[in-house]
């Protein structure tokens, strides 16, 4: 719990370490972050790209100097040049695509939320283990400098016995009611703020504070209709855009969470921990870049909050125009190390299963308007 991943930068590939051929599946986030990230990493090379429209796949491949373009996962995994696959498609496509990749014995990097339900996530986890491949999930907050400093201070028992945790993640990415209706607007496609933001939140709570004992969730939709991009007609939105969550951690600590994608807030992402010995605050006001801009403050009882400088050893060695690439590269570092050593890395699909479990139970709690108990991950996995 709350251990900080190692972030030593990779040096150029030694002669005995082969370049890993990567296929990128999904060309939204995949084209913005995955492709440039893999192209920047010294050990990975993008050798194939997937899009359901072969002409679009070919155009992207040509523009990015990628050898192969495919419109079928079967074609991707049949390429001998492909040792690993990253999947950055919408959530409703993850399970079938990831299953095909794992069955072919390819290493996997999967975007979150990993699947549409915990049973699918469990199946992928056990399939990866049975095939002996290394699967990771893009839970990038574990690799952001400010978050890593925050984790270290928690591990040093700075706050003492925790009495309250508060999390606010408030953004305006979907505040514009004219933003078109798409998969994000549909609950059964994995859309909604709980999937896009809550999946991260549940993972970093587990990383920083440990497992959850029970939870209560209230999910709402502020914008119930959005225009169809083709016809302009309003379509119903049944996914959440605001989530109010209360958790009781396994150690008894209460945790209050507010998540929204439809508000204009000056403080976009804030995490506060109050204990009997001290207070820790992690926060960012950077609306345009949810990776950079995090700062850490601390105080002892009766003292003012004081900012703590992030040490150079944790700072990103290079920044990119799209800030998400910096953190993604560290996820890739961890994944490549796991592939080299043949050992499961953290975060793995195991962490993806737990995040998905908490999302499933949040939907259940919201439907029942009641608290629900959270089984341990060991119970869920039967180990």
* SS3 call for 351: helix
Integer angstrom CA distances of residue 114 from 41, 117, 241 = 24, 9, 19
Task: Sort residue 12 into left (φ over 0), alpha (ψ -120 to 50) or beta.
Answer: beta
Contact 193, 269 (CB under 8 A): no
Task: Please provide the size of the chain in residues.
Answer: 383
- b/e map 210-248, b = 16+ CB within 10 Å: ebbbebbbebebebeebeeeeeeeebebebbbbbebebb
Same-domain status, 203 and 62? no
Q: What is the pLDDT of residue 288?
A: 83
Same-domain status, 154 and 120? no
Same-domain status, 122 and 242? no
Same-domain status, 86 and 27? yes
- CATH number, domain containing residue 116: 3.40.50.720
Query: Could you give the CA distance from residue 115 to residue 382 in angstroms, rounded to a whole number?
Result: 19
Could you tell me which of 356, 359, 354 has the C-alpha nearest to residue 378?
354
Residue 334 maps to a domain: no
Contact 277, 161 (CB under 8 A): yes
Residue 166 maps to a domain: yes
Number of domains the chain is built from: 2
Residue 7 maps to a domain: no
Same-domain status, 150 and 255? yes
- CATH number, domain containing residue 212: 3.30.360.10
Domain ranges, residue 210: 144-317+353-372
CA 186 to chain centre: 20
* SS3 call for 147: helix
Burial of 104 (0-12, 13-18, 19+ CB in 10 A): middle
Beta-bridge partners for 22? 46, 84
pLDDT in tens, 112-159: 999 999 999 999 999 999 999 999 999 999 999 999 999 999 999 999
Q: What is the pLDDT of residue 383?
A: 85
Phi, psi angle pair for 311, to nearest 5°: -65, 150
Q: What is the pLDDT of residue 304?
A: 97
Same-domain status, 162 and 288? yes
**pTM of the complete model:** 0.95
Query: Could you give the CA distance from residue 173 to residue 196 in angstroms, rounded to a whole number?
Result: 11
Same-domain status, 235 and 309? yes
Beta-bridge partners for 272? 166, 281
Q: What is the pLDDT of residue 56?
A: 96
Residue 327 maps to a domain: no
Same-domain status, 157 and 281? yes
pLDDT in tens, 169-209: 999 999 999 999 999 999 999 999 999 999 999 999 999 99
Residue 3 maps to a domain: no
Q: For 327, how many CA atoms within 13 A lie in the half-sphere containing its CB?
A: 21
Residue 8 maps to a domain: no
Same-domain status, 211 and 88? no
Contact 273, 147 (CB under 8 A): no
Q: What is the pLDDT of residue 178?
A: 97
Residue 326 maps to a domain: no
Integer angstrom CA distances of residue 68 from 23, 55, 79 = 9, 12, 9
Residue 332 maps to a domain: no
Strands 20-25 and 44-50: parallel
Could you tell me which of 315, 352, 296 has the C-alpha nearest to residue 126?
352
Same-domain status, 159 and 136? no
Same-domain status, 168 and 311? yes
Q: What angle do CA 181, 182, 185 make, to 5 degrees?
A: 75
The contacts of residue 310 (CB under 8 Å, 6+ apart) are 145, 146, 149, 295, 296
Same-domain status, 164 and 117? no
Taking only the tens of pLDDT, the chain with its 383 residues reads 555 544 444 444 444 589 999 999 999 999 999 999 999 999 999 999 999 999 999 999 999 999 999 999 999 999 999 999 999 999 999 999 999 999 999 999 999 999 999 999 999 999 999 999 999 999 999 999 999 999 999 999 999 999 999 999 999 999 999 999 999 999 999 999 999 999 999 999 999 999 999 999 999 999 999 999 999 999 999 999 999 999 999 999 999 999 999 999 999 999 999 999 999 999 999 888 889 999 999 999 999 999 999 999 999 999 998 999 999 999 999 999 999 999 999 999 999 999 999 999 999 999 999 999 999 999 999 98
């Amino acid at each position: 719990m709350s251990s900080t991943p190692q972030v030593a930068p990779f040096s150029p590939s030694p002669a005995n370490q082969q370049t890993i051929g990567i296929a990128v599946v999904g060309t939204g986030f995949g084209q913005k972050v995955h492709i440039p990230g893999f192209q920047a990493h010294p050990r990975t090379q993008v050798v194939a790209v997937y899009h359901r429209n072969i002409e679009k796949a070919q155009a992207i491949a040509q523009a990015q100097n990628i050898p192969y373009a495919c419109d079928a996962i079967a074609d991707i995994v049949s390429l001998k040049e492909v040792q690993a696959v990253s999947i950055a498609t919408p959530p409703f496509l993850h399970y079938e695509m990831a299953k095909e990749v794992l069955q072919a014995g390819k290493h996997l990097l999967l975007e979150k939320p990993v699947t549409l339900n915990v049973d699918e996530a469990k199946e992928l986890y056990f399939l990866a283990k049975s095939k002996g491949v290394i699967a990771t999930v893009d839970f990038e907050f574990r690799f952001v400098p400010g978050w890593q400093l925050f984790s270290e201070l928690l591990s040093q028992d700075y706050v003492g016995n925790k009495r309250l945790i508060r999390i606010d993640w408030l953004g305006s990415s979907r505040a514009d009611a004219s933003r078109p209706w798409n998969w994000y607007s549909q609950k059964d496609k994995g859309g909604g703020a709980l999937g896009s933001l809550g999946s991260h939140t549940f993972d970093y709570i587990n990383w920083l504070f440990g497992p959850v004992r029970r939870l209560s969730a209230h999910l709402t939709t502020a914008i119930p209709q959005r225009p169809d991009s083709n016809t302009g007609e309003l379509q119903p939105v049944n996914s959440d855009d605001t989530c109010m969550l209360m958790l009781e951690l396994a150690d008894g600590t209460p945790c209050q969470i507010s998540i929204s994608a439809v508000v204009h807030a000056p403080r976009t992402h804030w995490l506060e921990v109050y204990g009997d010995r001290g207070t820790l605050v992690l926060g960012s006001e950077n609306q345009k870049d949810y990776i950079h801009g995090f700062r850490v403050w601390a105080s002892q009882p009766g003292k003012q909050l004081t900012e703590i400088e992030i040490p150079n050893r944790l700072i990103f060695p290079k920044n990119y125009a799209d800030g998400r690439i910096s953190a993604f590269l560290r996820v890739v570092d961890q994944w490549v190390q796991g592939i080299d050593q043949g050992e499961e890395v953290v975060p793995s699909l195991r962490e993806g299963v737990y995040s998905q479990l908490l999302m499933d139970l949040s939907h259940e709690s919201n439907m029942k308007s009641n608290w629900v108990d959270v089984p341990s991950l060991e119970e869920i996995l039967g180990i």
